[in-house]
Structure 1
Amino acid sequence: GREEDYFQELATRMVDAKLGTLARRIRQLPQVMALDDWPSRLSQELGEIYLLVKAFQKLPALPDALQDDLLSLAGVNFKKEAILAKAGIQDRWLVAGQFFAEEDSNLQSRRTWLIGEQSGRIAMLLDFSWGGTGYESDWRSGSILDGEVVFYPSRLPLRALVKAHEVVKDQPFHLPEGLTDFKELEKKWAAAVGTLPWVWPWPAILDEVIPVHTSGRFLLVDKNRDALPLACTPQSGWQLMAESAGRPIRVFGQWEGEAFRPLSVVVEGGIYFLKSDEGKTI
């Protein structure tokens, strides 16, 4: 309809300006308007785009790291060679989980999460597949990488690249301590959004939590009996319940603003991976 033509025209102008990510967000607005909860979702999406545009108007006056964030959010790509030339963090890194999403009709993304054993840092490897051609690198969940990870410039560094590394086999991995209180997760999420309003998703390790199923929904319950809604398939939810068997467990995943998506679980020292359903970023 006319709305789709209008958004397509705007998206085309963004593509001409080499702002591909912003173009995709604009192109997806008609899909957002077709959702059941479209008023709130559309308001959120337009609010983030508006904030991004207003920030761009003040780009020269902003700190360098925030300028880099804005350029990346709009779709300006950094050269991998320049990132890899920077100093990184040497550690043993656990491939703690992956999340696949459909960014556009011919574009899929894969977020691979790494956790540093000594540093406690969490890094995200972001890869894209065009037209189902597959991904350039193969990161297997559960692998332990001994090597250097370099973070992209950002006010809130999460995205990273793996430099020189080797895969470690038959050695234990000591997962850093996580959060035992969902209120702490809320505080960290609020601080992250305050630092970078467009951050999504936010990774976290949750300790001493128990998965439950009630009223058709899966939840995690912390030591204070506070509940956290889960974004997961029934298959993943029941797998989480089975691994727990009513006992407190450790869960790694990503907070997506309204729900937590579990990607892996630690039970009695063993790590088990949950199959993540492919999602849309809209």
Structure 2
Amino acid sequence: MIPAIPGYSVEAWKSFVFNPGRLRRMQEGAGIILDFLQLVLGQGLLASELLSEDNLKELSTRLVDTQIPGAARKIKSFARYELNPETLPMFRFELRYLGNLAHMLMGFEQLSLSAKLQVWQICGGLISKELVLNQPGVNDRWVTKSVVVAREDGLVTRKTWFYGTHTLMWAFTLDYSFGTQPLPEGNKVGDTFNGTAKFYPGLLPGRILFTEKAEDSGVYRTPDVMRFEDIARLKLGVARLAAHDPLFHEYPVLMDKIILASNNGQFYLVDVNNEFLPLITVEKRGYGSKDDAWERFADAGGHPVSLWIMVSQGQFILI
């Protein structure tokens, strides 16, 4: 079952107005993306000269002019990576993502309101904070699990993931700054606090705003998470997520009765059917770190446990 967004009601957003002028510009950008993808895939991804740094910068500039800054930054970021068999899965995922975004923009009027709101936000369209804060929220004791700061062309973005210890919910905040402007004060990994999370509209629960960090009321919503006991069902669940939200980038799922195994520093999940799934680990603090994986491996001691996994860009990360 696809988790619902807590407190989200389509009725509450029916009066939202999408700027028609901006939408037309974004649809022009969608056409540029689709033409680019057709040329790249026609040449063959590994052989395509269209992924050169100069071409990517030129395309990025054109997309900024059509008011799709997120897509522009994503395309420009490709220049940081060498295209080879190792990075090929990442390129495929991101190009598929851009294709889905472009097709949804071109068919914007046929989308559900939830999908329209999702696309609008991804393209940089504004959603009033007041509208978000007017929605019912989720009260919990939250733990800060990850803080990732990215910089691109004068824009600094901070994505912070939180875990609700009673509701078992995951949610994230996004903060931005431009130029030399500092980011607003944020949380550090390991910080815990009581608070109410108000969710942005869309197709999947994810981005939130916190209201004042209120005292613990002791009243929590029923957990509503995606959980699986074997890898085959996990992969089927991920496919359903992608069908429900073609733009989903990362999403947490819970694996029950799973064994965490290691071989030559590579970590795997092993299920009751002896199927295995490789995990991605990274050299950083927060979720997905090798140090955290080794600690979990030692604690589990080869016994079946419950583990949270982040599905990210088609890969699986221990969180």
User: Fold-level match, TM-score > 0.5?
Assistant: yes
Instruction: Give TM-score, length-normalised by structure 1.
Output: 0.76
Distance in structure 2 (CA, Å) of the matches to 1:44 and 1:160 = 25
- Are the structure 2 counterparts of residues 258 and 60 from structure 1 closer, same or farther at C-alpha, using a change threshold of 3 Å? closer
Q: What are the ranges of 5 or more consecutive residues in structure 2 without an aligned counterpart?
A: 1-48, 283-289
**Higher CA-based Rg:** 2
- Are the structure 2 counterparts of residues 261 and 30 from structure 1 closer, same or farther at C-alpha, using a change threshold of 3 Å? same
Q: CA RMSD in A?
A: 3.3
Distance in structure 2 (CA, Å) of the matches to 1:126 and 1:68 = 17
Q: Name the structure 1 match of 2:262.
A: 213
Structure 1 residue 259 corresponds to structure 2 residue 308: no
Distance in structure 2 (CA, Å) of the matches to 1:179 and 1:244 = 18
Distance in structure 1 (CA, Å) of the matches to 2:215 and 2:94 = 40
Q: What are the ranges of 5 or more consecutive residues in structure 1 without an aligned counterpart?
A: 264-282
Instruction: Give TM-score, length-normalised by structure 2.
Output: 0.68
Distance in structure 1 (CA, Å) of the matches to 2:234 and 2:144 = 19
Map 1:226-245 onto structure 2 (within 5 A). Answer: 226-233=275-282, 234-245=290-301
Indicate which of 106, 109, 112 corresponds to 2:161.
112
Q: Following TM superposition, by how much is the alpha carbon of 1:248 offset from its aligned partner in structure 2, in angstroms?
A: 2.8
Distance in structure 2 (CA, Å) of the matches to 1:22 and 1:159 = 19
Alignment length (residue pairs): 258
Q: Name the structure 1 match of 2:5.
A: none
Question: Which structure has greater strand proportion?
Answer: 1
Distance in structure 2 (CA, Å) of the matches to 1:138 and 1:81 = 22
> What amino acid maps onto 1:113 in structure 2?
F
Q: Following TM superposition, by how much is the alpha carbon of 1:258 offset from its aligned partner in structure 2, in angstroms?
A: 4.0
Q: Following TM superposition, by how much is the alpha carbon of 1:254 offset from its aligned partner in structure 2, in angstroms?
A: 0.8
Distance in structure 1 (CA, Å) of the matches to 2:204 and 2:170 = 11
Deviations 1:221-258 (A, max 9, x none): 23333222111143233222122222333322311244
Structure 1 residue 193 corresponds to structure 2 residue 249: no
- Are the structure 2 counterparts of residues 230 and 40 from structure 1 closer, same or farther at C-alpha, using a change threshold of 3 Å? closer
Structure 1 residue 74 corresponds to structure 2 residue 123: yes
Question: Which structure has greater helix proportion?
Answer: 2
State, as a whole percentage, how many aligned pairs show the same letter. 22
Indicate which of 202, 209, 213 corresponds to 1:161.
209
Q: Name the structure 2 match of 1:270.
A: none
Distance in structure 2 (CA, Å) of the matches to 1:46 and 1:191 = 20
Deviations 1:193-229 (A, max 9, x none): 0011120111122233221111441112233332221
SS for the counterpart of 2:212 is strand
Structure 1 residue 4 corresponds to structure 2 residue 53: yes
> What amino acid maps onto 2:292 in structure 1?
S
Structure 1 residue 44 corresponds to structure 2 residue 100: no
SS for the counterpart of 2:317 is strand
- Are the structure 2 counterparts of residues 200 and 113 from structure 1 closer, same or farther at C-alpha, using a change threshold of 3 Å? farther
Structure 1 residue 23 corresponds to structure 2 residue 72: yes
Deviations 1:82-141 (A, max 9, x none): 321x222333243262252536365343231333735x5432223346679455322553
Deviations 1:50-75 (A, max 9, x none): 22112211112321111111122222
